Amino acid sequence: MSKFELLAPAGDLEKLKVAILYGANAVFIGGLKFSLRSRASNFTLEDIKEGCEFAHAHNAKIHVTCNIVMHEHDTDDVIEYLKALEACGVDAIIASSLYILKMVLEHTHMEAHVSTQQSSANSETIDFFTKFGVHRVVLARELDLDEIKEVVKNSKVDIEAFIHGGMCVSYSGRCMLSNNMTNRDANRGGCAHSCRWNYDLIKDGKVYNKEGDYFAMSSKDLCAIKAIPKLMDSGVYSFKIEGRMKSLHYIATVVNAYRRIIDEYETTGKVLDYDSYITAIEKAENRLTGTGFLFGDPTVDCQLYDLNLTVPTKDFIGIVRGYDKETKIAYIEQRNYFLPNTTIEVFSPRGTFNLDIKEIYDEDGNSLDAARHPLQKIHFKSDIPLSEFDLLRLI
């Protein structure tokens, strides 16, 4: 097993399983309380228990986020909830509140991890948290590779760093745009992503942009593929992917790409083809990416000042729900339009390969001229055995 942790997001139980099957050896999720993604399909205690059992059976761990900025009414049942999470088998709690971290350390045997919401950007801050008793600190996303290396060298606890996903246009955990403009608190799970809205540019009452040609000010998403070797050499222990509200296709694709590059560099000491990993990720990305602060302060090329956004791919056409070895029938849950008599790509934890499909049928056995209804249950013959959670793509 790798000595490095690849930490993936999951917004529901199915995504948790997909993340682990496609290469994550840890997953972070949100429960129904104290979570910063209030619009995600957050986990019940029953789901968390099932997720922990699945993770532990696959030598993976589960981290639960309890990282909101707490108000007075949030303090009532913290200890009870933490003990319930521990009883489910949770391995670690991610929090920004010192009170929650203290309660984790005093009342449970789970690890306490300091959230990136604390904007930990120097070794003195990490030393404070170390003396406080935490097991890990998640770094601020505003550090470059040299700063990360220096921080890790001077730290006595595990260090976690973000490698992929959304970047805040402000300092992580410090933006107040959503609060001001919509009364939705970004630090309590309600961010409206105001930086991604379309704006007019106005000065002295004059509108400077053309009609329909609006202005936005968000950051490109982070993609650290080319920084992975340096991050590994620096001693970063955990590599974190952002995106609890992303699709299972996104999670599987991104996790698998980072799993493979980490394994390649750990095994051989080099990376032969960075672009192959970037190309793989692009099959599921729906926003443009950049390197954030990793190689120095972001330039204009790392920002999105207009509508130059990528369009979500429609290449993901289905997920395998079952396979009958005797009849060689694959049972599929369809996601995007595709036709019979097509060569498709099967993306699986076992690798990627092409598959020729002929006739396709609905649940009642009716032959279909096209799979056109998302989530429709269909089936077709496949001489190549398929497995649950294999993903199907157009070529």
Tens of pLDDT, residue by residue over 43-87, are: 999 999 999 999 999 999 999 999 877 778 777 789 999 999 999
Mean pLDDT of 229-247: 95
**More confident position, 227 or 76:** 227
Distances (CA, A) of 340 to 82, 279, 356, 370: 51, 27, 9, 6
CA dihedral (210, 215, 221, 225) positive or negative: positive
The predicted model gives 318-337 an average pLDDT of 97
Q: What is the pLDDT of residue 94?
A: 96
Tell me the residue type at 345: E
Residue 221 confidence (pLDDT) above 70:
yes
pLDDT at 287: 85
Residues spanned by CATH 3.20.20.70 within the chain?
5-304
pLDDT surpasses 70 at 210: yes
**pLDDT attached to residue 177:** 87
List the Cα angle 135/136/141 in 5-degree steps.
170
Please state, for a pLDDT cut of 70, what percent of the chain lies above it: 96
Do the Cβ atoms of 123 and 143 come closer than 8 Å?
Answer: no
- Provide the CATH topology of domain 316-394: Elongation Factor Tu (Ef-tu); domain 3 (2.40.30)
Q: Which of 330, 337, 341 is nearest to 386 (CA)?
A: 330
Residue 310: pLDDT band with limits 50, 70, 90: low
Which residues sit opposite 319 in a β-bridge?
Answer: 333, 391
Of 168, 164, 229, whose CA–CA distance to 193 is shortest?
A: 168
- For residue 258, report the phi and psi dihedrals to the nearest 5 degrees: -70, -35
Q: How high is the pLDDT of residue 184?
A: 82
Task: Enumerate the β-bridge partners of residue 371.
Answer: 338
236 touches 163 (CB < 8 A): no
User: Quick one: pLDDT at residue 389?
Assistant: 97
- Give the max Cα distance, the chain: 74
Identify the pLDDT of residue 284: 93
3-class secondary structure per residue, the chain: CCCCEEEEECCCHHHHHHHHHCCCCEEEEEECCCCCCCCCCCECHHHHHHHHHHHHHCCCEEEEECCCCCCHHHHCCHHHHHHHHHHHCCCEEEECCHHHHHHHHHHCCCEEEECHHHCECCHHHHHHHHHHCCCEEEECCCCCHHHHHHHHHCCCCEEEEEEEECCCCCCCCCCCHHHHHHCCCHHHCCCCCHHHCCECCEECCEECCCCCCCECCEECEEECHHHHHHHHHHCCCEEEECCCCCCHHHHHHHHHHHHHHHHHHHHHCCCCCHHHHHHHHHCCCCCCEECCCCCCCCCHHHEECCCCCCCCCCCEEEEEEEEECCCCEEEEEECCCECCCEEEEEEECCEEEEEEECCEEECCCCEECCECCCCCEEEEECCCCCCCCCEEEEC
Tokens of 214: 């609006």
**Has residue 185 got a pLDDT over 80?**
no
Provide CB contacts within 8 A for 57, sequence distance 6+: none
Which distant-in-sequence residues (6+ apart) come within 8 Å of 192 by Cβ? 178, 181, 182, 184, 186
- Whether the pLDDT of residue 305 is over 80: the answer is no
Confidence of residue 15 (pLDDT cuts 50, 70, 90): very high
Q: Which two tokens stand for residue 41?
A: 């399909």
pLDDT at 189: 62
Cβ neighbour number for residue 98 with a 10 Å cutoff: 14
Strand partners, 353: 346
The DSSP bridge partners found for residue 316 are: 393
Strand 111-114 relative to strand 5-9: parallel, antiparallel, unpaired?
unpaired
How do residues 127-150 score in pLDDT, each as one tens digit?
A: 999 999 999 999 999 999 999 999
Confidence of residue 42 (pLDDT cuts 50, 70, 90): confident
Distance of alpha carbon 212 from alpha carbon 318, whole angstroms:
35
pLDDT for residue 188: 62
Q: What CATH number should be reported for the domain whose range is 5-304?
A: 3.20.20.70
Which tens digits make up the pLDDT trace of 150-174? 999 999 999 999 999 988 888 877 8
- Mean pLDDT, the chain, integer: 92
